[in-house]
Structure 1
Amino acid sequence: MAEDKSKRDSIGLKAKEGQTNNGFVQNEDILETDLDPSSPAAGPQHNTVDILGPGEPDVKDVRPYAGMPKEVLFQFSGQARYRIPREVLFWLTVASVLLLIAATIAIIAISPKCLDWWQAGPMYQIYPRSFRDSNKDGDGDLKGIQDKLDYITTLNIKTVWITSFYKSSLKDFRHAVEDFREIDPIFGTMKDFENLVAAIHDKGLKLIIDFIPNHTSDKHAWFQWSRNRTGKYTDYYIWHDCNYENGTTIPPNNWEIIQFWLSKGVDGFSFNALQYLLEAKHLRDEAQVNKTQIPSIIFFSLRHHLPEDTVTHYSQLHHDFTTTQVGMHDIVRSFRQTMNQYSREPGRYRFMGTEAHGESITETMVYYGLPFIQEADFPFNSYLSKLDKPSGNSVSEVITSWLENMPEGKWPNWMTGGPDNVRLTSRLGEKYVNVMNMLVFTLPGTPITYYGEEIGMRNILAANVNENYDTGTLFSKSPMQWDNSSNAGFSEGNHTWLPTGSDYHTVNVDVQKTQPRSALKLYQELSLLHANELLLSRGWFCYLRNDNHSIMYTRELDGINKVFLMVLNFGESSLLNLKEMISNIPTRVRIRLSTNSAYSGREVDTHAVTLASGEGLILEYNTRNLLHRQTAFKDRCFVSNRACYSRVLNILYSLC
């Protein structure tokens, strides 16, 4: 019996051992060296077995849950209460993703692009031969420009525009180019240019340069080859005996020149004289202009030797056959496409401006391009620089003419002078310098300043100019007036290529930077205000009124309960009752800036605002009733789509 009981216990113990679960095996890697043969543990051991009592579970019977078999899982998952919610959630997820993608595309499509660098601040145009001479030879140069970059940054300039510096005979000072890939020796070397580009970019500025695709010197290789009827260059120029029997001629390959300078780091171009790119094939003579219609700046230099019926100057003809011919804009678009190839890097958009002096406002606007065909970012607006009889009406006409004719969504610009125009002070008078600068910094768009206009430089006198030069456009190119030292600080040499202005002892940078009421100080305050106030750089422009004396307009922006009211007087002294003219204006407003700096920061009673001749005020007041929201001003307010304005959503983004 004892033996049977022992067998039964042995069988029971074996039955309780179950199966080994590898998931619970521990200390599998037991090294044999862990057992010391000399230790007691290595000797014979007595096996002991614990017999579980009634009701106590054996730990070895507890196995991990192996999961639901596949057949059972499919049976449950196919039931409607599980299948339907799963399918609903799946399609909701798909719909949400598609909706998110569609919303993203829609927002990108209808949201305006933020301001580009050429919109964000003023441009400063430099005639390089007259800005600063670094080597005492009397001619301004590229190193001289680099030496004065710190001064340019004090003006809060964003873009430096350097006119033609190509190797040239300098006969007409800009256009007689001999080689578009070389720097004229009087300006320096290619290394000097590369250093200048690097220095400009280090200052956070951009650089644009002139490019004249139609004109070359008679010493240019193309001209010499064309004169000798060499290959494809035969018809690069118009020769009297030229014929077109063999088909349409191919224009010169100026695209490679564009690529050359873009690869040097140039940020954009001013394309000059584009209207002359093509000529009519029939080569007929052009009709003569009435003598009284010749521009005054040209007539002045010709008046003593201009016979009644003799044509001696280009301006004496109507240029119906040699300007703005059919196909010209196709070439301009191809220039734009070439530049776009270099605009693909983030932050490296390449700017394209065009100069087409003498064209009508309608012809000028074509350079903006078509809705889906891009040309210039803007044609340079030189209409203010031709204004010689200032009044509220004449200034208003220039502003409204540009804004009303400009294609929708484009960006305006405003110039007060240039190398081919009479300087602002000589043209309008000293008292109008400050109010004109205030005008261009408070209008919508990019203000453009010709060097020296910020200090009120004048044209030099004709009697002081060497008669060997073509004096027609020379008087506005005199050396920059830096201080009251010899040669106005322009050069340390014994002579300068042109004489300095006779007033340089008092009209210069060094004197004006220490005078709180100088033209330079006001210019710096205006440019700083333009940079810091969204109302001026991107806000709505609402035109209020004008008369023969003054012009009034506001700048405002959704989300900012502040308005700038500009009151600029181009006529005689005036007394204005602003309270009658603007219904929601407070009785007292603050003068943010005045052309008379003594008034800046003061308050003025809007019932009686007195303006002296040539005085301008930027008034500031708070209101929630913005003019562009009022029906009465619906057709008198302007904002460009380029200013982060969405016409679809009627939102002007203040944080763009």
Structure 2
Amino acid sequence: MNLAVSVESNSDMLVDPDWWRGAVIYQIYPRSYQDSNSDGVGDLSGIIHRLPHIASLGVDAIWISPFFRSPMLDFGYDVSDYREVDPLFGTLGDFDALIARAHELGLKVMIDLVLSHTSDQHAWFQESRSSRDNPKANWYVWADAKEDGTPPNNWLSIFGGSGWEWDSERQQYYMHNFLKQQPDLNFHEPEVQDALLDVTRYWLERGVDGFRLDTINFYIHDKQLRDNPVCPVEDRNASTAPAVNPYNWQLHVHDKNQPENLEFLKRYRALLDEYPGKTAVGEVGDSQMGMQIQAQYTSGGDKVHMCYAFDFLAPEAPNGTMIADVLTRFEQVATDGWACYAFSNHDVVRHASRWNLGEAAQRLYAALLMSIRGSVCLYQGEELGLTEAYVSYEELQDPYGIRFWPKFKGRDGCRTPIPWSSDGPTGGFTDTKPWLPVAMEHLSKSVAEQDRDDHSMLNFYRQMVGFRKAQPALINGSFELVAARDDMVSFIRQADDGQRVFCAFNLSNSAVPLDLPAGSWRQDMAAPFRPSVTDKSITLPPYQAYFAHEDR
């Protein structure tokens, strides 16, 4: 089914400064979206070519994972120059053209800024490591060894091992939360904050509409470099790092999550407020204190606009009880904050596989995601129902997976190229060998195949996004829990104008009876789900949803 793409002018896009509230944001991992120059790697020109597909989904914005100059040891999350496009992805001219085309199609553009750390190839780090008294000597987190030569404290890296690396040139340790080639910037140094705000202004001036801020709670460390305490065994949630990594064995109260970060975020928001309609969403990388941090960082209207934590990126499929708990707790702890939710991204196993979902369950969970209070991030390929791809050890690119194979296979399985057609082994992504293999089982789920099928997963996502955008209550309305059990959850969303939408979801493979809330409710026959209703009782078939409006 070929859908026409509506075009908005730039002036139309600037009307609502709160467009981000309840927005649907589509994440693009540029290496795997579309190759335009036959080198096997996706690029900015390829994204431009495929923007009509994204616009046809009805989403509000795109978020592009890093495309800055980088040695690519962590595939762009190790930045060596914040103001340049890596030649692998194109040029600044290509980026400007991407902004212009996206705006023509009514899409906002958000880019992924990695501010907590840089590459060790960045000019700032090269200067900082050269001596202990150069102008940038304090721009990174340096510390002397203990008397026995061991690292300054017990902090760990998410990618395994110590969070400290010895530098023979400076004769000190430097801190790194990720790869040893990704040294952490020292946010206690005012000049560092100023430099990063200048980077943000640079991209605002180029016309971006917002930022996804990587690892937003990692910016500031404890100045005293105190050891992290031990995490109780029963609390070692494995959603921040895989269970094979002892990172989860600590309570991360000193290496991140510092209160001083709030002042930097206020400076950041003040800069964004100079440019009406610009926004930021922060990634809160913490499974232990994620919701509390999420609430702090989005409170008061003077820090970031929205944050997402790892609640729905966990290994276990969320049941109705857990969903209700997450949503109600957020309402309680973040009374004036705003959440952003995602089921998949470039760092976790695709949720279709992670939660072992069949097609009916995938649709049900997509409808749920489009109905809960908050903004939404969709990860490329999610709209096609893509599963996690198998990538052999010989073909692995991700250093995280290479280190912990085979217990943890890394992130390559969710990063394989998008199948645009079912013709040929690369699915229209490239005409040469791709940087990661295209999964053979993905070819039958290609965009071209699903575009022709009115009942495909792709067209379901189009319908569900469209349904959400037609209901003010689902975009930014309030949330009221009605009922929750492991096998179901129901709630009411209410818009400022009084529109009330009742949403109920059967998360099981058995029929579930439930009652309508008090009031006069009328089933929405435009919703993608229309189960049978008799009087005041609803019988939800397996993996079905029910939407109704209260008569006014």
**TM-score, L = length of structure 2:** 0.80
* Aligned sequence identity (%): 25
Q: CA RMSD in A?
A: 2.7
Aligned partner of 1:451 in structure 2 is 380
CA distance in 1, matches of 2:262, 2:353: 36
Aligned partner of 2:318 in structure 1 is 390
State the 1:183 CA deviation. Answer: 0.8
1:543 pairs with 2:510: no
Q: Structure 1 residues 207 and 223, CA, compared in 2 at 3 Å: closer, same or farther?
A: same
State the 1:277 CA deviation. Answer: 2.0
State the 1:296 CA deviation. Answer: 6.5
Aligned partner of 1:171 in structure 2 is 73
Is this contact kept in 2: 1:481–1:507, CA < 8 A? yes
Q: Structure 1 residues 142 and 465, CA, compared in 2 at 3 Å: closer, same or farther?
A: farther
Aligned partner of 1:593 in structure 2 is 527
Counterpart AA for 1:501: A
State the 1:537 CA deviation. Answer: 2.3
CA distance in 2, matches of 1:193, 1:225: 29
1:370 pairs with 2:318: no
Is this contact kept in 2: 1:136–1:491, CA < 8 A? no
State the 1:319 CA deviation. Answer: 2.7
CA distance in 2, matches of 1:257, 1:130: 26
State the 1:490 CA deviation. Answer: 4.4
Aligned partner of 2:507 in structure 1 is 570
Q: Which among 430, 434, 438 is matched to residue 367 of structure 2?
A: 438
CA distance in 1, matches of 2:437, 2:473: 42
Counterpart AA for 1:233: K
Aligned partner of 1:415 in structure 2 is 342
Counterpart AA for 1:322: D
Q: Structure 1 residues 227 and 325, CA, compared in 2 at 3 Å: closer, same or farther?
A: same
Query: What SS does the aligned partner of 2:346 have?
Result: coil
State the 1:128 CA deviation. Answer: 0.8
Query: What SS does the aligned partner of 2:441 have?
Result: coil
State the 1:512 CA deviation. Answer: 1.7
Q: Structure 1 residues 297 and 141, CA, compared in 2 at 3 Å: closer, same or farther?
A: same
Is this contact kept in 1: 2:45–2:94, CA < 8 A? yes
Is this contact kept in 1: 2:113–2:213, CA < 8 A? yes
Matched ranges for 1:311-330 at <5 A: 314-330=247-263
Q: Structure 1 residues 570 and 331, CA, compared in 2 at 3 Å: closer, same or farther?
A: same
CA distance in 1, matches of 2:129, 2:448: 51
Q: Which among 528, 533, 538 is matched to residue 604 of structure 1?
A: 533
Counterpart AA for 1:330: E
State the 1:261 CA deviation. Answer: 0.9
State the 1:287 CA deviation. Answer: 4.6
Q: Structure 1 residues 362 and 426, CA, compared in 2 at 3 Å: closer, same or farther?
A: same
* Deviation per residue, 1:562-590 (Å, 9 max, x gap): 75322211124133142xx534346x845
Q: Structure 1 residues 390 and 330, CA, compared in 2 at 3 Å: closer, same or farther?
A: closer
CA distance in 2, matches of 1:265, 1:129: 22
**TM-score, L = length of structure 1:** 0.68
Q: Structure 1 residues 228 and 519, CA, compared in 2 at 3 Å: closer, same or farther?
A: same
State the 1:391 CA deviation. Answer: 1.7
1:379 pairs with 2:307: yes
1:516 pairs with 2:454: yes
Query: What SS does the aligned partner of 1:389 have?
Result: coil
CA distance in 2, matches of 1:322, 1:621: 48
Aligned partner of 2:143 in structure 1 is 240
Matched ranges for 1:47-126 at <5 A: 116-119=18-21, 121-126=23-28
Aligned positions, number: 480
Matched ranges for 1:82-481 at <5 A: 116-119=18-21, 121-229=23-131, 231-241=134-144, 249-252=189-192, 253-287=195-229, 293=236, 295=238, 298-299=241-242, 302=244, 314-341=247-274, 343=275, 348-358=276-286, 359-370=289-300, 374-386=302-314, 388-408=316-336, 410-428=337-355, 429-430=357-358, 431-463=360-392, 466-467=395-396, 469-470=398-399, 471=401, 472-481=410-419
State the 1:239 CA deviation. Answer: 2.3
Is this contact kept in 2: 1:486–1:492, CA < 8 A? no
Is this contact kept in 1: 2:361–2:507, CA < 8 A? yes
Q: Structure 1 residues 607 and 484, CA, compared in 2 at 3 Å: closer, same or farther?
A: same
Is this contact kept in 2: 1:591–1:604, CA < 8 A? no
State the 1:158 CA deviation. Answer: 1.1
CA distance in 2, matches of 1:400, 1:480: 36
Counterpart AA for 1:257: V
Q: Quick check: which one's helix share is greater?
A: 1
Q: Structure 1 residues 621 and 215, CA, compared in 2 at 3 Å: closer, same or farther?
A: closer
Q: Structure 1 residues 204 and 589, CA, compared in 2 at 3 Å: closer, same or farther?
A: closer
Counterpart AA for 1:550: M
State the 1:477 CA deviation. Answer: 1.2
Query: What SS does the aligned partner of 2:398 have?
Result: coil
Aligned partner of 2:9 in structure 1 is none
State the 1:623 CA deviation. Answer: 2.1
Q: Structure 1 residues 239 and 532, CA, compared in 2 at 3 Å: closer, same or farther?
A: same
State the 1:612 CA deviation. Answer: 3.4
CA distance in 2, matches of 1:457, 1:497: 18
Larger Cα-atom Rg: 1
State the 1:194 CA deviation. Answer: 0.9
CA distance in 2, matches of 1:156, 1:592: 16
CA distance in 1, matches of 2:285, 2:239: 15
CA distance in 1, matches of 2:549, 2:218: 49
CA distance in 1, matches of 2:493, 2:17: 17
CA distance in 1, matches of 2:60, 2:261: 31
* Deviation per residue, 1:462-498 (Å, 9 max, x gap): 4366245322233211111222122443423221111
Is this contact kept in 2: 1:455–1:508, CA < 8 A? yes
Q: Structure 1 residues 442 and 387, CA, compared in 2 at 3 Å: closer, same or farther?
A: farther
Counterpart AA for 1:484: S
Q: Which among 520, 531, 537 is matched to residue 469 of structure 2?
A: 531
CA distance in 2, matches of 1:120, 1:297: 25
State the 1:197 CA deviation. Answer: 0.9
Matched ranges for 1:601-640 at <5 A: 604-606=533-535, 608-618=537-547, 620-624=548-552
Gaps of 5+ in 1: 1-112, 303-311, 625-656
Is this contact kept in 1: 2:482–2:491, CA < 8 A? yes
Is this contact kept in 1: 2:17–2:277, CA < 8 A? no
Gaps of 5+ in 2: 1-14, 145-171, 174-187, 402-409
State the 1:354 CA deviation. Answer: 1.2
Q: Structure 1 residues 548 and 491, CA, compared in 2 at 3 Å: closer, same or farther?
A: closer
CA distance in 1, matches of 2:485, 2:439: 35
CA distance in 1, matches of 2:430, 2:371: 38
Is this contact kept in 2: 1:464–1:499, CA < 8 A? no
